[in-house]
Amino acid sequence: MTDPKTARSADVPAVPIAAGSFRKTLGWGERTLLSEVTFVKDGVVPMHSHPHEQIGYVARGTIEFTIGNRIVVLRAGDAYVIPGNVPHGCHALEDSLAIDIFSPVREEYK
């Protein structure tokens, strides 16, 4: 992406995360980064943690999230907050799309 301030999702190449999940970085500023995660049914993001605070919402589909010791099923329109350094992962129960915002910026996503 040449200009981090503007991006069309259709123009950003998808980066594989794990089986059936892909991310696109749509923009970033001084302190936050916006990304889109697409899942095919049964796609996953394995359990992991990072120092970044992560907030987002499910834009389409149904996703089972594990956040720390809690498991929650979120549907289109539902939001989530994942504090920094908390282990988390997810499993798409159907084709799904999630929007994530990270703070601070995840340099490896730029």
Q: What is the mean pLDDT of residues 19-35?
A: 96
pLDDT tens-place string over residues 55-109: 999 999 999 999 999 999 999 999 999 999 999 999 999 999 999 999 999 999 9
Q: What is the C-alpha separation between 1 and 4, in angstroms, rounded?
A: 6
Q: What is the C-alpha separation between 47 and 66, in angstroms, rounded?
A: 8
Give me the percent of the chain exceeding a pLDDT of 70. Answer: 95
Q: What is the C-alpha separation between 62 and 72, in angstroms, rounded?
A: 10
What is the dihedral sign for C-alpha 7, 8, 13, 19? positive
pLDDT at 7: 78
Which CATH number applies to 32-109? 2.60.120.10
